[in-house]
Chain A
Amino acid sequence: MEYWGVKVEDIFNTMHNRLRPEGAKGVIAEFGYDIIGEGKWKIKVNDGALGVIKTDDISNCVAVMVCDGETFVGINIGKVDATNAFTSGKVKIEGDFGQFGKTAKMFKKFVPKKASMSVRDYMLDMFGTLVQRFQPDNAPQEAVIVYDIGGEDGGVWTAYIKDGKCELKEELPAKFTVKLEVQEAKDWVDVMLGKTDAFSLLSAGKGSIVGETQIALKLEEIFSKYQDPMAGGTPEQELIVLKKIISVDQKFSTGPVMGKFLNALKNKKILGNKCPKCGRIQLPAREVCAECRVRVDEWVEVGPKGQVRYMEYVYYASPDPLTGETRETPYGMANILLDGCKGNDTFAHLIRRDQIDLIKGGKDDVSGTRVRPVWNEHRTGSIFDIKYFEIDE
């Protein structure tokens, strides 16, 4: 079946060409695709090497994507929102979801070919309309501009500009003002259609400029924009999305209370402070008891062992806002009732990652899993002076 003019096979058959080596780096895994009503595929990735086969045996894959053909093609050509499809259950991932996520960065986007215009058709149309699109007011007095486009759909075209007139010939002159060399005709078509820009082409090493660069930079003014004959009547908005990372350095003070609390960790001690009115113990220590609206001055050493009352089992790989690095998942963040504390006076920290499946929460008088802190050798007065808590056996 075709969806938007694209077959499921087209997506798989172009995977080799669309592979991004940097995205596949370090990935060693097999991924399965069960495209309902269309068949099953397996892709084998080995640190940059790729194998794609159509097979009914996808049993050994680390993760399998299950969906129908329309959804699969739609996602790949940008007609279906992947997150929405996933959230609504139209796409299911069986197996290791985290691993499967890596496939998103492994391939360049699939660009369907227009049904009725090949790259060669575009090349002929672009140069066929070049003289029409000439803008004498913006052109230099005299220039010879060569387009040397490679690949099987390519060719050599030269525009001779003189005294407000432009003439095009399919030839390579001995002398020229500037020569544009593009390795693949398809890339040049993409530039002309606005799908990519000439700078990306140049910086990716897929093209070069020989001669007077200034003239090349003015080409968009010398010739008016090429209109895609396959596009609809209304011109698209010219949209730009700026990508910026904003960072302003900070120095955070602890104040005396948090300072005392963090300093105690250096000496492998966990200090809470105790409300003079209600007696609750605060971890980490805070200046006041919010319930009683009084300053909290009494310090008590608690733990360091305790029992887990509740653990968040976190699968979602969120970024650490202080470092920008994504945390490894799954991880466990536990509310631990340290010895010497009662009620809701729990202390939040991480659980040793290989033990999170063994942790049980407590309820009422039933204790949860007993845990103890694992201290860092180099302690600096930070939350990570405790690496994590592990099961205390």
Chain B
Amino acid sequence: MANRVAICAVAQIKNDPNLWHARFQNMLLECFEGIISQTNVSFDMEKGIRTVLTCSDDVWDARTISDNAITDVVGAHFRGEEKIAQESLNGLGYAMACILSGHDDIILYMGHMKESQTESRGMCTNLAFDPFYCRPLGMDFVNVNAMQARAYMATSCINEEHLANIVVRSRKNAKKNPYARNNAIVNQDDVMKSPLLSDPLRELHYYPTTDWAFGMILCNEKRAKEFTGKPVWITGFANCIDSYFLGDKDLTSNFTLKNATERALKKAGIKGLKNNFELYELCDHAAYQLPMWAEGIGIIKDGDGGKWISEGGLDECNINISGGMLNGNPLLLGGAARVIECFYQLRGEADKRQVKGAKRALAQSTYGAAGQHQAVVIMEV
């Protein structure tokens, strides 16, 4: 199989509500040093890293071309550097392209996002809308997701208890994940009484403000053994974007995720999900998204979300053993966090949360409001 690339090593800092004592350069540097010490990879122009990919966002960094601020701490001085100005999972797809094209043997992929820097997450995501119509209406990712939540809850018979159970489970799972944001354990009642953000979304239904950074080394098949004895392979990647205006699309259709999954599976040469995957990591910005994305990927049939949760489907299918995005990853890095969890699981290094016999995993991410853009990565050992 010449169409796969290896993830050889990952490094991360702990997800944190407010890293007030660090600037994002400090966050990245820890990850950079983690990668170098694990792999001893060099920056030699022939044999080493020639291209560094980064993931960050100018609006959230409040800095034009914000990757110029980190060239030094990601080792990219007098090397190539390109910034994934998109959800981080898409960087895995592009890293795959860099390597499979023959242009690079090794890619260092680093990402950072410090959500605590801005005084208002809503004001940042409001800027993702056109200045003429949606922006003045006050749209941001929370209130548009709330519209999707209401529509989806109706079609898939999701009630407040279902959402509360998803949050309770996420917090429990996260306690077993040493890199997860430290959150209080909550019960169903806590969730159902938490304040409304945008009806029907409550505060505890939504991922909290989080600072985080990561690094990973990707490599072609031939050279992977130089850096690890246990490579995890990326065998499929695809994404899909929906139209912009809310009135132009059916918010419950999962149009983009269905397309992205189908195309990623095709690239990986896998026919259908059934019996083929031991775990799934999904980007649940909000609790309702966990069953909704499960439907989009095809883990369950359309409309079965509510029933599936009641029957314990989340544990049965090993969905978001890490605690998920819902426990706290920054907006654009949820995908990288999903990939990193799959990496540990497939290497058998997930400790207390290890899924036995994990051979193949699917990681999904989304960005934009109401799942406008969806991406899927297939990982195997």
Chains A and B directly touch (beta carbon < 8 Å):
yes
Q: Could you tell me which A residues sit within 8 Å of B by CB distance? A: 242, 244, 246, 248-258, 286-291, 293, 295
Tell me the bound Cα distance from A242 to B19 in angstroms.
37
- The reply to whether A250 and B118 form a contact with Cβ atoms under 8 Å apart is yes
Partner of B22, one of A242, A253, A291: A253
Q: How far is the CB of A58 from chain B (nearest CB, A)?
A: 43
- The reply to whether A252 and B23 form a contact with Cβ atoms under 8 Å apart is yes
On chain B, the residues within 8 Å of A255 by CB distance are 21-23, 25-26
- The reply to whether B73 and A288 form a contact with Cβ atoms under 8 Å apart is yes
Tell me the bound Cα distance from A239 to B33 in angstroms.
54
- The reply to whether A251 and B23 form a contact with Cβ atoms under 8 Å apart is no
Q: Could you tell me which B residues sit within 8 Å of A by CB distance? A: 19-23, 25-26, 29, 33, 43, 59, 62, 71-73, 75, 77, 114, 116-120, 123-124, 127, 131-132
Q: How far is the CB of A391 from chain B (nearest CB, A)?
A: 33
Tell me the bound Cα distance from A194 to B77 in angstroms.
56
- The reply to whether B23 and A253 form a contact with Cβ atoms under 8 Å apart is yes
Tell me the bound Cα distance from A290 to B25 in angstroms.
12
Q: How far is the CB of B124 from chain A (nearest CB, A)?
A: 6
- The reply to whether A293 and B26 form a contact with Cβ atoms under 8 Å apart is no
Partner of B131, one of A244, A252, A257, A287: A244
Partner of A286, one of B19, B72, B117, B123: B72
- The reply to whether B62 and A288 form a contact with Cβ atoms under 8 Å apart is no
A sample of 24 inter-chain contacts (CB < 8 A) reads A242-B131, A242-B132, A248-B120, A248-B123, A249-B119, A250-B119, A251-B117, A252-B62, A252-B117, A253-B19, A253-B21, A253-B23, A255-B21, A255-B23, A255-B26, A287-B26, A287-B72, A287-B73, A288-B73, A291-B77, A293-B43, A293-B77, A295-B29, A295-B33
Closest residue of B by beta carbon distance from A257: B26
- The reply to whether A249 and B118 form a contact with Cβ atoms under 8 Å apart is yes
- The reply to whether A254 and B23 form a contact with Cβ atoms under 8 Å apart is yes
- The reply to whether A293 and B29 form a contact with Cβ atoms under 8 Å apart is no
On chain A, the residues within 8 Å of B123 by CB distance are 248
Query: B22, B62, B72: which has the most chain A beta carbons within 10 Å?
Result: B72
Say whether chain A's binding surface is mostly helix, strand, loop, or mixed: loop
- The reply to whether A248 and B71 form a contact with Cβ atoms under 8 Å apart is no
- The reply to whether A250 and B62 form a contact with Cβ atoms under 8 Å apart is yes
On chain B, the residues within 8 Å of A290 by CB distance are 71-72, 77
- The reply to whether A288 and B23 form a contact with Cβ atoms under 8 Å apart is no
Q: Number of contacts between A and B (CB, 8 Å)?
A: 64
- The reply to whether B29 and A251 form a contact with Cβ atoms under 8 Å apart is no
Tell me the bound Cα distance from A163 to B62 in angstroms.
61
Closest residue of A by beta carbon distance from B127: A246
Tell me the bound Cα distance from A246 to B59 in angstroms.
11
Tell me the bound Cα distance from A128 to B29 in angstroms.
76
- The reply to whether A253 and B29 form a contact with Cβ atoms under 8 Å apart is no
Q: How far is the CB of A245 from chain B (nearest CB, A)?
A: 12
- The reply to whether A256 and B118 form a contact with Cβ atoms under 8 Å apart is no
Tell me the bound Cα distance from A256 to B21 in angstroms.
7
Tell me the bound Cα distance from A252 to B59 in angstroms.
13
Closest residue of B by beta carbon distance from A240: B132
- The reply to whether B119 and A248 form a contact with Cβ atoms under 8 Å apart is yes
Tell me the bound Cα distance from A293 to B49 in angstroms.
13
On chain B, the residues within 8 Å of A257 by CB distance are 26
Partner of B117, one of A250, A258, A293, A295: A250
- The reply to whether A288 and B119 form a contact with Cβ atoms under 8 Å apart is no
On chain A, the residues within 8 Å of B124 by CB distance are 248
On chain B, the residues within 8 Å of A256 by CB distance are 21-22, 26
Tell me the bound Cα distance from A288 to B127 in angstroms.
33
Q: How far is the CB of A262 from chain B (nearest CB, A)?
A: 12
Closest residue of B by beta carbon distance from A259: B21
Tell me the bound Cα distance from A286 to B28 in angstroms.
13
- The reply to whether B20 and A253 form a contact with Cβ atoms under 8 Å apart is yes
On chain A, the residues within 8 Å of B73 by CB distance are 287-288
Q: How far is the CB of A250 from chain B (nearest CB, A)?
A: 5
On chain A, the residues within 8 Å of B131 by CB distance are 242, 244
With A253-B22, A253-B114, A287-B72 known, 11 other A-B pairs at CB within 8 A are: A242-B131, A248-B120, A252-B62, A253-B20, A254-B23, A255-B21, A256-B22, A256-B26, A287-B29, A287-B73, A293-B75
On chain B, the residues within 8 Å of A288 by CB distance are 29, 72-73
On chain B, the residues within 8 Å of A295 by CB distance are 29, 33
Partner of B118, one of A246, A248, A286, A293: A248
Q: How far is the CB of B28 from chain A (nearest CB, A)?
A: 9
Q: How far is the CB of A70 from chain B (nearest CB, A)?
A: 38
